[in-house]
């Protein structure tokens, strides 16, 4: 190591796990790299690793899902199954994988993702075209019937279609999940 070169420490954590059966699933992992002395760049790499034994062991990582400077709201916060081998990752955007997380593709949405709910091949997303730090943001629900590959407006929209900008920012950072699925299959906006 050269004189004055920064020494780095890494920390790996399991951020989220999703199961398609009691034994088969995928973990969303993040590896943070930061300087020991506090001087130097910080970096985060997000990736998935499959499990076939209920999470006792995870296979090697696939291609990185995202790289960032570790700032809140800049990366993916959860994954969910949208089919037997298909995954959707939610964060400020949506990414999809058709091979258990070995590779990822960005999904084009008509706006910025606020919330995502997945059940089987069906997925619902709450999106906005709101500017950062706006006082109020218009939102609408879109849905996919093919595991997130194509999207269209949901036939039924929320009665309240405006959220405070702060709530949108909190949801995008992963602090809130405003979209959920009811046991009867309905979509709830909280």
List, for residues 101-143, the tens digit of each pLDDT value. 888 999 989 888 888 888 888 888 888 888 767 888 888 899 9
pLDDT value for 1: 45
pLDDT value for 185: 67
Closest CA to 134 of 172, 177, 168, 171: 168
User: Higher confidence at residue 149 or residue 159?
Assistant: 149
User: Higher confidence at residue 85 or residue 127?
Assistant: 127
pLDDT digit string, tens, across residues 27-78: 999 999 988 887 878 999 999 999 999 999 999 998 899 998 888 777 888 8
Of 17-21, 66-70, 132-136, 148-152, give the lowest mean pLDDT range: 132-136
pLDDT value for 26: 94
């Amino acid at each position: 190591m050269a004189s004055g070169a920064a020494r780095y420490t890494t920390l790996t954590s399991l951020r989220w796990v999703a199961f398609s059966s009691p034994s088969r699933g995928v973990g969303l992992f993040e590896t943070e790299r930061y300087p020991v002395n506090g001087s130097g760049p910080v970096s985060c790499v997000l990736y998935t690793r499959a499990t076939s034994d209920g999470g006792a062991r995870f296979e090697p990582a696939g291609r990185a899902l995202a790289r960032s400077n570790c700032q809140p709201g800049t990366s993916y916060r959860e994954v969910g199954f949208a089919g037997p081998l298909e995954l959707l990752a939610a964060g400020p955007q949506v990414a999809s994988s058709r091979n258990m997380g070995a590779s990822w593709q960005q999904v084009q949405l008509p706006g910025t993702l606020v919330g995502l709910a997945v059940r089987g091949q069906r997925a619902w997303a709450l999106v906005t075209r709101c500017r950062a730090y706006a006082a109020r943001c218009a939102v609408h629900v879109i849905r996919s019937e093919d595991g997130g590959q194509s999207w269209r407006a949901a036939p039924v929209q929320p009665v309240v279609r405006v959220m405070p900008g702060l709530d949108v920012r909190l949801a995008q950072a992963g602090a809130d999940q405003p979209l959920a699925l009811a046991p009867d299959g309905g979509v709830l906006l909280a």
